[in-house]
Amino acid sequence: MSGALRTGLIWGAIGVFLSLVGMVEAFAARQIIVGVISLGHLLLLLIALGSGSRAARQGKVWGSAALLRGLVAGVTTGLVASAFIAVGSAANLRAMFVSATPELFAFLSFGRGVAGIPLVVAATATAGAIGAAAALLPAVIARPLAVGVTSALAVGLFQELLQIILQEGVIRTAIRRLIFTEDGLPPRGALIVFAVAAGTSALLRGRRGGVRAWTAHRPPRQRRAISLVAVALAIVVALLLPVAGGLFVSQVLVLVGLYILMGLGLNLEVGFAGLLDLGFVAFFAIGAYTVGLLTSTGEHAIAHLSFWATVPIALVVSLIAGILFGMPILRIRGDYLAIATLGFGEIIRLLFLSDALRPWFGGSQGVLGIPKPTLGGFEFAGPQQLYYLTLIASAFIAFVAFRLRDSRLGRAWMALREDEDVAEAMGINLVNVKLLAYGIGGAFAGMGGAIFAVMLGSIFPHSFSLLISINVLALIIVGGIGSLPGVIVGSLFLVGLPELLREFTDFRFLVYGAVLILMMQLRPEGLWPAAAQQRELHEERVDIPLVPPVEAAPGEAPAGVEGGGS
Amino acid sequence: MAILTSRRLTKRFGGLVAISALDLEVEERSIHSIIGPNGAGKTTFFNCVTGFYRAEEGTITFQEEPLDGLTPDRITHMGIARTYQNIRLFATMTCLENILVGMHPHLRASWIGAIVGSPGTRREEAAAHEEARRLLRFVELRGKGDYLAKNLPYGEQRRLEIARALASRPALLLLDEPTAGMNPRESLDTMAFIRRLRDELNITILLIEHNMRVVMGISERITVLDFGEKIAEGSADQVRSDPRVIEAYLGTQRGAAEIGA
């Protein structure tokens, strides 16, 4: 039982912490289900649920004993919250904690102050018991329930966005009328979403493996056709996104795209070649400044080229920058490499910021008047148009990264990552291979910078802070280091989600930190790990012998080796 | 004819002389062993040959070309490959990828060719994959191409490491304790396998080995090192009866028993 008590205390402390940093109150304003629950209360509810569920799982007991543990943990969490409410109502904590406002305590105690404490404890106790019960449910029931609840909450969370998407069209309007009211998502709509999602999940359960087995047993030609259809569908969805999502969604997606471009570049350095780089934003800045200076109509313009002419130049400039960047740090390994690259990133930013170079780079005033790209009369004026530019650039860069990964150079990078000395003994020229990693990785980020420049129309040194490098590193870790789809998943998750949930922006780095710690604890290989870690599971299907299975008999030597032997 | 020659090779680590004025000749198409107590300088010699260490004095020539001052990758290009005492595979790469990395020196594809998918690159990649699979079969790892190297059992890791070394099409293969950690049965198999490498692929073998049954069984020539100096050289019988060798191996009857004298 002391385990359950401790779990309750820890989760209670998490709740108090989130309240004190202002997260609960900031989330209180957003209604998830109208008149039922706000995001703030949802957060508190999730904490109580998590406390109960965790306590039940920890105990290695079943049935009523586990429920009891959940109940105890829930009550403990509630008591911690109550103590917090009592202290907060009696004394003014605001001298130390700005967010410990009377409104916060009113919110925590359901508006009843100290008198609300029994209610708080009862609520957390119930939630704890429910959490424990959920942990005990067999997967057959738990999965559809979880899918249903998550879907309903997701619809509630993104309701503004969904309402925008569902504004036009007969079917879309009908769906909107069915689920939403003027005020938001009513309980009725939430129930519908829950029922549909849970039902679908229950129906699909057990069939998912079936679908996979069905495709696996199709003849190769049909299988290829099926995957082509899937790819075509994905392309259609990608093309329709900005039309359906509107301006705001497009803006977020362009940002996600820029991070995908940078992520692919850094993934090539860190994920493939194992070269840690904390100054990666430098290449993004170089790409942006190259395009800015060459296309600008402002005072710092060097030339007035078109965007399309400057993109290859930006790629080459950032490639060369990467090679120059790599040269002094060729012999540095490990932690020292991290520090050296960190310094490089800052040097580039400070060069653009410096007064000495102001005549060329504009100093802190930046480069202004960068025109939008046009193509045969079509202007990439806003996010909805720039989205397509980003999409094509990302697809192109992802394709290049994919091809490089499976090439001789890609294998050399991975060998370098695994064991630098042995890689060299395998005949790999470390200098070339490292410089190419920095150069090509830099060029990918330069591509992102080029689009960034025309997206904003003006660039300033302060846009290229260390935080961008850290964001990019975080997203490839969360997505799965070395994994190409992982970069996309990581960008959507770490860049897209926080933008869509405006309440999160203040707490972005708190959430980042928590997510990174959780990832390292629960899923260190990332959300979408690199293929090598999964490949073994179905190796028999992949490794088809090229010649009939005849064991190498004496006298039969590998043909390739024969030639080079004597 | 000697394929590898070292003349008065000396390697020091601070005050410690790891190898002292070592003269050594390895005959082409021979199986040559280097033995000696721990710390005799055997692996240091390997590291000098492969360019990991730079010797202070003396020269090493391979196929009449001096190796002095060359980086490890250049030396591999010249036709020397090695394995390691403590297996050093690329652990989280697959077996096939490990071998493909070994082929690096004789693949020509550029990174631009790989991006555009030029016909030459595709042809080379297909041929390389086929050769890699053949090498996997040669070391009896057929069908394990997509296993991660770290997940292979110990004996198979040893064989994969040899396959990776063979992939560079070496003329001289340096094996650092290839039977370490093996039981007698596996050691016998490995001996037979090393003979095949020489007989079928015409590769000169230079090996460091502690297992005297293996050493005496397959070596045509044995060099004995002690404290960085060559104390004896010759056939198995000559070395076995050399008093200095018996002395070096503990100087006791146990030492004599160990080398089978």
DSSP code string of A351-374:
HHH-STTHHHH-GGG-B--PPPPE
CB atoms A558 and B131 under 8 Å: yes
- Strands in B16-27's sheet, in edge-to-edge order, are B16-27, B2-13, B57-62, B65-66
CA distance B172 to chain A (A): 9
pLDDT computed for residue A530 by the predictor: 77
Whole-angstrom distance, CA of residue A9 vs CA of residue A55: 11
| A565 contact B CB<8A | yes
Within 8 A of B169 by CB-CB distance, chain A residues are 560-561, 563-565
Q: Is the pTM of this model over 0.95?
A: no
pLDDT computed for residue B96 by the predictor: 95
Phi, psi torsion values for A370, nearest 5 degrees: -90, 120
Determine the length of chain B. 261
pLDDT computed for residue A515 by the predictor: 86
Cβ-nearest to A565 among B72, B117, B171: B171
> Which of the residues A396, A405, A411, A536 would you substitute to probe the B interface, choosing the one with the greatest number of B C-beta atoms within 10 Å?
A411
> Which of the residues B30, B89, B90, B100 would you substitute to probe the A interface, choosing the one with the greatest number of A C-beta atoms within 10 Å?
B90
Q: What is the dihedral of CA B113, B118, B119, B125, to 10 degrees?
A: 40
pLDDT computed for residue A545 by the predictor: 39
Of the pLDDT bands very low, low, confident and very high (cuts 50, 70, 90), residue B253 is low
CB atoms B79 and A564 under 8 Å: yes
Query: Least CA distance to A397: which residue of chain B?
Result: B115
CB atoms A423 and B97 under 8 Å: no
CB atoms B73 and A429 under 8 Å: yes
CB atoms within 10 A of CB A2: 7
Whole-angstrom distance, CA of residue A426 vs CA of residue A411: 11
State mean pLDDT over B235-260.
Answer: 75
CB atoms A566 and B202 under 8 Å: yes
Within 8 A of A565 by CB-CB distance, chain B residues are 169, 171, 201-203
pLDDT computed for residue A387 by the predictor: 95
pLDDT computed for residue A502 by the predictor: 73
CA distance B131 to chain A (A): 6
pLDDT computed for residue A401 by the predictor: 96
In the stretch 276-315 of chain A, residues with CB closer than 8 A to chain B read none
- Return per-residue pLDDT of chain A as tens, 566 residues: 788 899 999 999 999 999 999 888 888 888 888 888 888 999 999 999 999 998 888 877 778 888 899 999 999 999 999 999 999 888 888 888 888 888 899 899 888 888 889 999 999 999 999 999 888 888 888 888 889 999 999 898 888 888 887 877 788 888 888 888 888 888 888 999 999 999 988 888 766 566 666 777 777 788 888 888 988 998 998 888 888 878 888 999 999 999 999 999 999 999 999 999 999 999 999 999 999 999 998 888 888 899 999 999 999 999 999 999 999 998 888 889 989 999 999 999 999 999 999 888 988 899 999 999 998 888 898 899 999 999 999 999 999 999 999 999 999 999 999 999 999 999 999 999 999 999 999 999 999 999 999 999 999 999 999 999 999 999 999 999 989 999 999 999 888 888 887 777 788 888 888 888 888 888 888 888 876 544 444 444 444 333 333 343 444 344 433 333 33
| A96 contact B CB<8A | no
CB atoms A565 and B164 under 8 Å: no
Within 8 A of A418 by CB-CB distance, chain B residues are 90-93
pLDDT computed for residue B18 by the predictor: 93
pLDDT computed for residue B251 by the predictor: 61
CB atoms B76 and A407 under 8 Å: no
Cβ-nearest to A557 among B91, B107, B200: B200
Q: Which of A2, A40, A3 is nearest to A23 (CA)?
A: A40
Using an 8 Å Cβ cutoff, are A28 and A110 in contact?
A: no
Within 8 A of A427 by CB-CB distance, chain B residues are 73, 76-77, 104-105, 168
CB atoms within 10 A of CB A150: 14
Query: Least CA distance to B72: which residue of chain A?
Result: A425
pLDDT computed for residue A554 by the predictor: 41
pLDDT computed for residue A309 by the predictor: 94
> Which of the residues A426, A525, A540 would you substitute to probe the B interface, choosing the one with the greatest number of B C-beta atoms within 10 Å?
A426
Q: Which of B186, B183, B205, B202 is nearest to B194 (CA)?
A: B205
Query: Least CA distance to A557: which residue of chain B?
Result: B200
> Which of the residues A434, A543, A544, A546 would you substitute to probe the B interface, choosing the one with the greatest number of B C-beta atoms within 10 Å?
A543
Within 8 A of A434 by CB-CB distance, chain B residues are none
pLDDT in tens, B170-220: 999 999 999 988 889 989 999 999 999 999 999 999 999 988 889 999 999
CA distance A563 to chain B (A): 8
Checking ipTM against 0.95, whether it exceeds it is: no
Query: Least CA distance to B198: which residue of chain A?
Result: A565
* Those residues with Cβ within 8 angstroms of residue A504's Cβ, 6 or more apart along the chain or in another chain: A497, A498, A511
Using an 8 Å Cβ cutoff, are B31 and B220 in contact?
A: yes
Within 8 A of B130 by CB-CB distance, chain A residues are 546
Q: Residue A197 is encoded by which pair of tokens?
A: 């999602």
Within 8 A of A563 by CB-CB distance, chain B residues are 169
CA distance B64 to chain A (A): 15
Using an 8 Å Cβ cutoff, are B49 and B60 in contact?
A: yes
pLDDT computed for residue A288 by the predictor: 96
pLDDT computed for residue A546 by the predictor: 38
Q: If you search the block for the tokens 């721990």, which residue do you land on?
A: B38
CA distance A469 to chain B (A): 26
CB atoms A403 and B71 under 8 Å: no
Q: What DSSP assignment string belongs to B37-77?
A: STTSSHHHHHHHHTTSS--SEEEEEETTEE-TT--HHHHHH
